[in-house]
Amino acid sequence: MPDQPAPFLRIDGVSKTFGTFQAVKDVSLTIAKGEIFALLGGSGCGKTTLLRMLAGFEEPTAGRIWLDGQDMTGVPPWERPVHMMFQSYALFPHMSVAKNIGYGLKHEKLTKDQRMARVREMLDLVQLTPFADRKPHQISGGQRQRVALARALARQPKLLLLDEPLAALDKKLREHTQFELMSIQERTGVTFIVVTHDQEEAMTLADRIAVMDKGQVKQVGAPGHVYEHPDSRFVANFLGSITQFPARVSSVATDRATVEVPAFGATVETGLIPGLAAGEALTLAIRPEKLTILREKPAGLNAIPGEIKDLAYFGKDSLYRVILPSGELISVHAVNAKREDNRPDWYDKIWLGFEPASAILLRD
């Protein structure tokens, strides 16, 4: 194995307390150079506070932050190779796009020519060269967002912190700008930490995500890993939709467990998690797209009887809510891959099939 490179950013046991309120609790993370890392969590969970500590606007109450091998304790914001793009990226309304981008370069030891060259390079990067002389109110929201990004990148930070960078944009523009942001990051190689409360945005943008709750990091990993292998009910619920049921382990074999789920009125087969033992009470969770609606009881799959309670037909796919024998509801997502009319309808008695590996077992 080659030596692992030292992490570019190391957040080591960082906490932040305001008065008696702990906004960030013992957060440890390592982030690699050139990574796009997303901090995801509900309002008030401590995302901005964590970014502000990285930028140097707040000092941690406990713990340390290392950037590129240097301890950031006591280093003021302007001496850190970090730039923070705020939740509301304030552009100067009276300055042109080019002047806004060049603003942060005033304090750097650059000649006028060097400064203008840097501004031109940034305008080109964010594809705003034709708009250089316009004022912020003469361009669109998405373009303003790109000006703010260009202004942040002009100073060539090693680490760029983006707090809800796309929040002000409508859905279509957001999706478009997400891809632009990724391509700009790829071309510059700057490490990005992006804060968002939009899970799809986090999953689209980021190499890895950290899901936060009440000041704590609950889980870190690649988007696909965190989505398919959540390790707590909170994370399972926060990313995508999922239905959760109390369950009890009946027996454990070498590669399978049998789990009793009262809501299903049946036992089902599942994969294993470490340390699973017969008798253990836990939560079984299953995502809507992992369930298949069948007319006949399937063989070789987990099978639960149910009845269609609600359905929403979206054209390319449909969402069903199915009543289980216990009266509880489960969500099922189906892709309408065939052009047929005999799709499940209200009150149809059906079977739900799923593979053992699709069931998620959660302890926390």
* 39 to 78: interface string for Mg ion, x by CB under 5 A: ---------x------------------------------
Partner whose binding site includes residue 165, from Mg ion, ligand ATP, none (CB under 5 to 8 Å by kind): none
Partner whose binding site includes residue 218, from ligand ATP, Mg ion, none (CB under 5 to 8 Å by kind): none
363, two tokens: 């302890």
Partner whose binding site includes residue 145, from Mg ion, ligand ATP, none (CB under 5 to 8 Å by kind): none
**9 or 45: whose CB is closer to ligand ATP?**
45
Q: Under the criterion CB under 6 A, does residue 88 sit at the interface with ligand ATP?
A: no
Alpha carbons 134 and 247: distance in angstroms, whole number: 61
* Virtual torsion, Cα 82, 10, 232, 236, nearest 10 deg: 30
Residues 164-223 that bind ligand ATP (CB under 6 A): 197
Give the residues across from 66 on adjacent strands: 10, 71
Taking CB under 6 A as the binding criterion, the range among 17-25, 116-124, 137-145, 263-271 that sits at the site for ligand ATP is: 17-25
**83 or 118: whose CB is closer to ligand ATP?**
83
Task: Pick the closest to residue 322 from 335, 304, 337 (CA basis).
Answer: 304
Among residues 13, 18, 71, 129, which is the contact residue for ligand ATP, using CB under 6 A?
18
Closest distance to Mg ion from the beta carbon of 212 (Å): 11
The DSSP letter of residue 133 is T
Q: Under the criterion CB under 6 A, does residue 352 sit at the interface with ligand ATP?
A: no
Q: Under the criterion CB under 6 A, does residue 48 sit at the interface with ligand ATP?
A: yes
Which single residue is written with the structure tokens 């552009």?
91
* Residue-by-residue DSSP string for 258-318: EEEEGGGTEEEEE---TT--TT-EEEEEE-GGG-EEESSPPSSSEEEEEEEEEEEE-SSEE
Q: Under the criterion CB under 5 A, does residue 178 sit at the interface with Mg ion?
A: no
Closest distance to Mg ion from the beta carbon of 179 (Å): 24
- Contact, 289 vs 241, CB < 8 A? no
Alpha carbons 181 and 331: distance in angstroms, whole number: 34
Cα dist from 326 to 268, 284, 292, 307, 358, whole Å: 15, 15, 19, 11, 21
**4 or 88: whose CB is closer to ligand ATP?**
88
Number of residues located near ligand ATP, criterion CB under 6 A: 12
Among residues 46, 56, 157, 288, which is the contact residue for ligand ATP, using CB under 6 A?
46
Residue closest to Mg ion when measured from CB atoms: 48
Partner whose binding site includes residue 233, from Mg ion, ligand ATP, none (CB under 5 to 8 Å by kind): none
Partner whose binding site includes residue 43, from Mg ion, ligand ATP, none (CB under 5 to 8 Å by kind): ligand ATP
Alpha carbons 343 and 314: distance in angstroms, whole number: 13
Q: Under the criterion CB under 6 A, does residue 246 sit at the interface with ligand ATP?
A: no
Q: Under the criterion CB under 6 A, does residue 49 sit at the interface with ligand ATP?
A: yes
Tell me the residue ranges of DSSP E strands in the chain.
Answer: 9-18, 21-31, 36-41, 62-67, 70-71, 82-85, 159-163, 191-196, 208-213, 216-221, 243-252, 257-261, 266-270, 281-286, 292-294, 302-313, 317-323, 329-335, 349-354, 360-362
- Which residues here bind Mg ion, judged by CB under 5 A? 48
- Which residues here bind ligand ATP, judged by CB under 6 A? 18, 21, 23, 41, 43-49, 197
